[in-house]
Amino acid sequence: MKYVCKPVHIRVESTNTPYTQQLSKGEVLEIPIGHMEGNYFCDERTLAELKEQERIVFRYTTPSGEVTAEANPTDRGEHCRGLQRGRNVLGMMPHPERASEPELGMTDGAKVFHSLVSAMVEK
């Protein structure tokens, strides 16, 4: 058990959420993870349900968008990194807030927040 903080790549799997409506399906974002012991995992039935209901919002990938074992730092849940519950709840690792300003060294996380703000303005 050790703390892991490093940039990873995630691919947008769904744009049907307030968090991703301004992104493109297949777009790859660079955002850092920051965790020690948390890992999402689920049984096969739950995974099938998530896929069927299109609730997988992000997946770990390579910078070019390929799903590979090396791209997944947790080796869990078919590379699932963002899961939607209902329309307004998104559970995800990595941390977009840690990649939202040039001073932080990355800005791709800001895209998630811009999308969310846009969704709120539309309401």
How many domains is the chain built from? 1
pLDDT of residue 26 exceeding 60, the answer is yes
The strand pair at 80-85 and 89-92 is best described as antiparallel
Where residue 76 sits, what CATH number does that domain have? 3.40.50.880
Q: Which range among 9-13, 86-90, 98-102, 118-122 shows the weakest confidence by mean pLDDT? A: 86-90
Segment of 2-16, 38-52, 84-98 carrying the highest mean pLDDT: 2-16
pLDDT digits (tens, 9 = 90+) for 48-88: 888 888 888 898 899 999 998 888 887 665 666 677 777 77
HSE, side-chain direction, 13 A CA sphere, residue 60: 24
Residue 62 structural domain: 4-122
